[in-house]
């Protein structure tokens, strides 16, 4: 449950926090004494002028989660501890999400490298980029038992599954005689085997996973 809105994944509007904490001191006085006096601007908080309709512009403050925790403790109101624990939970969630995204990015980079090697291997036996795209798609189609999700939207475990299946296909180029039809057959087989392994071990099919945030946008 969202007690106080968090902006950009890391900032809290001080006025909204002030309202939640039910502080009796007027907002401008509270902000001057509790925020400006004790914290560093552009590091712990950010000040911004907001235009109001018909009246004078108001000054708004956005504080970091860590600053919000400290303000909650300083408030000494019944809701102060509730807010502090809420911000601690939010920080833990954001840290876990950041770690998860880092692992996804690393795995995605590995998959991209493995796919690049498959493309190069296909070209070495006389194939084209179109042949590689068809081979890769056919493997994905079997992996998902239908239309596949884009690699950049795959959960971590499916990125690793795709990477493993494609890596197995790359290993087949060690053989003396291999042609495009054989590569297509093997890549399809490897994706099928990895699919079966996932189903056996986690009781879920690849197509039952929901897409995650586009990993290419997370890199930006």
Residue 211 has pLDDT above 60, yes or no: yes
**What DSSP state is assigned to residue 22?**
T
For 168-179, what is each residue's pLDDT tens digit?
999 988 776 789
In 3D, which of 203, 121, 102 has the Cα closest to residue 159?
102
135: which residues sit within 8 A by CB, 6+ positions away?
Answer: 118, 122, 180, 183, 184, 187
C-alpha count within 13 angstroms, C-beta hemisphere, residue 39: 27
User: What are the residues facing 60 on neighbouring strands?
Assistant: 48
Residue 39 has pLDDT above 80, yes or no: yes
Confidence of residue 49 (pLDDT cuts 50, 70, 90): confident
Average pLDDT of the residues in 173-193: 90
Average pLDDT of the residues in 71-86: 88
Average pLDDT of the residues in 181-206: 96
**DSSP reduced 3-state for 32:** helix
For residues 158 and 143, give the distance between their C-alpha atoms in angstroms, rounded to a whole number: 9
User: Alpha helices, DSSP H only, in the chain?
Assistant: 14-21, 27-30, 65-75, 80-124, 129-144, 156-171, 180-202, 215-218
Write b or e for each residue in 155-175: b if 16 or more Cβ atoms lie within 10 A of its Cβ, otherwise e: bbebbbbbbbbbbbbbebbee
More confident residue, 86 or 194: 194
What is the predicted pLDDT for the residue at 127?
Answer: 94
What is the predicted pLDDT for the residue at 2?
Answer: 77
More confident residue, 93 or 144: 144
pTM of the predicted model over 0.85: no
What is the predicted pLDDT for the residue at 100?
Answer: 76
Residue 54 has pLDDT above 70, yes or no: no
Confidence of residue 200 (pLDDT cuts 50, 70, 90): very high
Confidence of residue 110 (pLDDT cuts 50, 70, 90): very high
For residues 176 and 122, give the distance between their C-alpha atoms in angstroms, rounded to a whole number: 14
Across the chain, mean pLDDT equals 89
Contact between residue 139 and residue 190 where contact means Cβ atoms under 8 Å apart: yes
Q: How many CB atoms lie within 10 A of CB 116?
A: 11
Residue 218 has pLDDT above 70, yes or no: no
What is the predicted pLDDT for the residue at 50?
Answer: 72
What is the predicted pLDDT for the residue at 92?
Answer: 82
Residue 155 has pLDDT above 80, yes or no: yes
Residue 58 has pLDDT above 70, yes or no: yes
197: which residues sit within 8 A by CB, 6+ positions away?
Answer: 161
Q: How many CB atoms lie within 10 A of CB 183?
A: 22
C-alpha distances out from residue 66 to 69, 92, 215, Å = 5, 12, 27
Residue 181 has pLDDT above 90, yes or no: yes
């Amino acid at each position: 449950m969202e007690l106080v809105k968090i902006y950009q994944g890391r900032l809290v509007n001080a006025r909204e926090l002030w309202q939640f904490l039910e502080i009796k001191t007027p907002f401008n006085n509270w902000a001057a004494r509790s925020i400006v006096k004790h914290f560093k601007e552009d590091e712990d908080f950010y000040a911004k002028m907001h235009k109001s309709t018909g009246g004078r512009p108001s000054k708004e403050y956005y504080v970091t989660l860590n600053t919000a925790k400290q303000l909650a403790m300083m408030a000494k109101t019944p809701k102060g501890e509730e807010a502090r624990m809420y911000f601690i939970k939010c920080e833990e969630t954001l840290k876990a999400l950041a770690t998860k995204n880092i692992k996804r990015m690393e795995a995605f980079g590995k998959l991209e490298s493995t796919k690049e090697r498959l493309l190069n291997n296909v070209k070495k036996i006389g194939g084209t980029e179109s042949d590689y795209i068809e081979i890769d798609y056919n493997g994905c189609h079997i992996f998902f038992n239908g239309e596949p999700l884009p690699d950049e939207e795959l959960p971590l475990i499916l990125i690793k599954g795709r990477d493993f299946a494609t890596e197995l296909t790359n290993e087949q180029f060690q053989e003396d005689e291999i042609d495009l039809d054989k590569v297509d057959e093997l890549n399809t087989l490897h994706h099928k085997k990895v699919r079966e392994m996932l189903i056996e071990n986690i009781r879920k099919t690849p197509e039952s996973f929901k897409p995650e945030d586009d990993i290419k946008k997370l890199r930006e």
